[in-house]
Structure formats: structure tokens, C-alpha cells
Amino acid sequence: MVLSQLQHFKPQLLSEICRSVSIPSVQEEARDGAPFGRPVREALDHALDLSRRLGFHAVNVDDMAGYAEAGEGPEMVAVLGHLDVVPAGEGWSRDPFRAAVEGDRIYGRGVLDDKGPTLTALFALKAVVDAGWPLKRRVRILFGCNEESGSRCMAHYVKVEELPVAGFTPDASYPIINAEKGMINAFCEAPFAPSGGLSVLFLSGGTAPNVVASRAEALLGGTPDLLDLAEKIARAWSGPEGSSVAVSAAPEGLRLSMKGLPAHASTPEKGVSAIACLADLLGRLPLAGEQAAFFEAFGALIAYETDGRSLAIARSDAISGALTVNVGTVAVEEGRTRFVLNIRFPVTERADKVLSALRLSLTSRGISLVSESHQEPLYVSPESELIRKLQKVYLEITHLEPTLLAIGGGTYAKSMPNIVAFGPVFPGQDYKIHEADEYWTVDDIMLNARIMAHAIIELGR
């Protein structure tokens, strides 16, 4: 019955996905009634209007988010999606904001991340209701509006609205992600005033805390003989495979341009940090005072390590593996050096424990932990009702193994209690999320619709 309902709604589902994708809902400056900009508000209005046309109770949550609801009962389960998108970027072979069904695909920014899955969930709920399945729990399809730029939408929702007893977000991949490591960004600082005959005048590296730096640069100034010596040491330096340094003359003295290999900060061991390489090289130079002390401390506490061993924060568990550390960015300002550590810690650990051990190690070497932001880990037991039900549905519909995944990154599931990531991308599937020519196939849309409809039936029981 649900299948025939889904077939019935297929043309409308595809055309409403195209309509939504054609709204360029990239975050813009806040306006009245549009905290994430007008286009995001327009995408929210479209989803709420569509929900009402489908006969759902639809609510705008203070212009920050929205939801459609069906079913009865004191408890509520949720499907969490988002309607904001990242900018189109370069390299598209067609207009990223003029979606249409082309053969067996729809192309457009947001069609897979995450407007398509969000609206597919809405129609899956409609099919369940129209097929006459009794829902003893209310089911909410949540429309997030700020996932790509900090998830302030759900931070607000969690403060003012009812929380689900269970649910999933189709904003990552199948089968089911039941463990996501915790994350800390630690902002560190140390005195770095130039002194002596050779000094670092400029230091900069990395682009973001969550990326292994592939570039770092330093500018050295000093007496001619010490600059000569520095140049000799720099030219003789060799680091890990994949790294290289370019040494060149500059009006101020000597420029060192370090290259490493980029990687995601959740797997820093797959990259080569240009910051670690440059710190290693600078630590070998005849610097003096605070600058010499800093590189000595950096070498003793971090060096090339990505497991936090010398910082005394190394730990691991059987569920999610080992803690990782990435030195995301470094800069020198006003006689101080500032760097950011991006730390991913196992699901059985808590942020405050990691932070207190980290603070102790850093301060013992003259480095201050100036500020931090963190997310606690996410872990939902394999024995829980939510995981057992999602596994059952996934196996029944796809005949694929419903393996549970543990990841070092974070998904939208972390923005709300009792939610795990479930879909929409299948194992081994080619996808272009955040890239040019993002697309979703009509077959995958309909397969997702079936999975979601059955997940809604199971969770709504």
C-alpha cells in the first residue's frame, strides 16, 4: 500500500524537489523575518506551504526552522533535514539553481544535500498517512535552515520546541552512523617576541581547524651570517614524505614556504601537516628567547604526532577508535603566536576531561589555552529501539547488511538528542555533495522514499 502511494506521489515529489532546489538558499545577511537571509526563508516558506497543501499541520519556529507533523500520541519521532545549501562554486555544466528532471537524474545545488532527502521524507510521511497506517507517535519532518553555517537553527529549536524520543537525519550516508566522536577546537597562544640575531617576523599556516594544513610560511630576519646559516639548514632540511620547502630571498631576509599534504582533520594521519613540518624546521634554527622556547615546547608536545600522546590526551575505545589531533592554523600577531588544535575524541570520553589534561600539558610548557569550543560525542547503543528498527528496515528494503558506522566527523544528528544519521547516500555511491554538478538519481530518490516510509512506520508504532 505504501509503495503504490509513493508511486502516486512520484511526479509531485520530483517537481517539488526541483522547485526547492531552484531557490538559491545560501546563507546571506540577516533580514527581518529571515535570520539566515531571504533565500533561506523562501525555501522554508516553500516547504511549509507544501506541507499544508499535503494536509499536514505545519509550524514556522521563529523563522529559524520549521516542521510538518502528523499522527497521534504523547511521544514524537522526527526526521531531521535542512533546506540551506553551500554556495554553488565553480565548474557546473548547467545552472545549479534551475533544477529539472533530466532523464534519470535531477541536478542542482542541494538536491542531495539536503533538500531532496528532506522533501522525500515529507512525501514518505504523506504516503504512510494516506495508506492508512496508524501512527501511535506523532511524526515530525523538521526543516533546518542553518546546517551548513553552524546549525543555529537546531540550537534554537532545541531550546524552544519539543524534542523527539527517536529519529534520524538523512544528511550523511547509509547504513547507520551510531557513533560520532566528540570534537574540540582549542585556541592556544604563547609569547613570541623577536629577540637575538635571528627571528621569525611572520608566520602563517593552514586554512581551517578541520583541515590538515597543506601550506605554511615563515619570514625570517636577522644578521647576514645567521641568515646564511638559516638558509643552509633550511636547504638541507628534509621532512616526511610528501613535504617540501621552498627557500627564497625576501627584502626582510629569508622566506620559507612549506608544502604538505591536505587531509580531513578527522583522519590527520592521512595528510602531512605543513605546520608541523615548518615548526620542525624552525626549531632547528638558532632562534632565541620566546621564539626558541615556543618551538622547543611545540616539538616536545606535538611535533608530528596526530594521536595526542605527548600532550597526554591519547586515548581510544573499541567503539570509535583513537583520539586524533590536528594543528589546523597558526599565525603570529602582536608578539604572540596563536594556533588552533582540532581534537576528535572517542565516544566514551567527555570534553572536560580531555580539556583539563590538555590545559595541564600546555601550561607546563608556557602555552595558554585561551578559549575552546566543543561538541560532546554521539553514541546510540546497538541494542536501542532506534538502531534495531532502522537496521530492520534497511535490511528489508535494500537486502544490504545494516552495518553500524563510527565516524570521526560530526553530522547534523549531533544538533539534537536521540537522532542518528541514516542515508541518503548508499555505500559505494558516486556523489557530488558540496561539489559541482551535484545530482540525485530518480531511482535513489524513490528507494530512499521507501526506506524512509518504512522507518516512519516502524518508529511511529
Closest CA to 139 of 154, 120, 122, 115: 122
Runs of H (alpha helix) within 22-151: 38-53, 115-130
Q: Is 72 a catalytic residue?
A: no
Annotated catalytic residue: which of 16, 63, 84, 290?
84
Reported as type and span, the H/E element at residue 19 is helix 2-21
Regarding 113 and contact with Zn ion (CB under 5 A), the answer is yes
Compute the distance between CA of residue 461 and CA of residue 458 in angstroms, rounded to an integer: 5
Phi, psi of 194 (to 5 degrees): -70, 145
Q: Which stretch binds Zn ion (CB under 5 A): 61-69, 127-135, 167-175, 416-424?
A: 167-175
Q: In angstroms, give the least distance from the CB of 172 to Zn ion.
A: 8
**Binding flag, residue 16, Zn ion (CB under 5 A):** no
Pick between residue 317 and residue 438 the one whose CB is nearest to Zn ion: 438
63 given a catalytic annotation: no
- Which set of grid coordinates corresponds to residue 417? 538528542
Number of Cα atoms under 13 Å in the Cβ half of residue 41: 13
Kindly state the cell numbers that stand for 305. Answer: 604526532
Burial of 84 (0-12, 13-18, 19+ CB in 10 A): buried
The number of residues making up the chain comes to 461
| Cβ 328 to Zn ion shortest distance, Å | 21
Of 68 and 421, which CB lies nearer to Zn ion in the complex structure? 421
Pick the closer one to Zn ion by CB: 113 or 438. Answer: 113
Q: How far apart are CB 375 and Zn ion at their closest, in Å?
A: 16
Nearer to Zn ion, 180 or 280 (CB): 180
Q: Which residues contact 184 (CB under 8 A, 6 or more apart)?
A: 341, 342, 343, 345, 351, 354, 355, 358, 372, 373, 374
Q: Which is nearer to Zn ion, 245 or 425 (CB)?
A: 425
- Least distance (Å) between residue 139 CB and Zn ion: 21
Q: Which residue among 16, 84, 114, 161 contacts Zn ion (CB under 5 A)?
A: 114
Burial of 370 (0-12, 13-18, 19+ CB in 10 A): exposed
> Closer to Zn ion at the Cβ: 325 or 425?
425
Does 84 sit near Zn ion (CB under 5 A)?
no
Q: Which residues contact 390 (CB under 8 A, 6 or more apart)?
A: 168, 176, 402, 420, 422, 455, 458
- Is position 171 an interface residue for Zn ion (rule: CB under 5 A)? yes
Q: How far is the CB of 147 from Zn ion (least distance, A)?
A: 5
**Among 16, 69, 114, 147, which one carries the catalytic annotation?**
147
Number of residues near Zn ion (by CB under 5 A): 3
Interface with Zn ion in residues 243-302 (CB under 5 A): none
Using alpha carbons only, how large is the chain's radius of gyration in Å?
A: 25
CB of 113 to Zn ion, least distance (A): 4
For Zn ion, which stretch binds (CB under 5 A), given 96-104, 107-115, 211-219, 316-324? 107-115
| Residues at the contact surface with Zn ion, assessed by CB under 5 A | 113-114, 171
Q: Kindly list the catalytic residues.
A: 84, 147
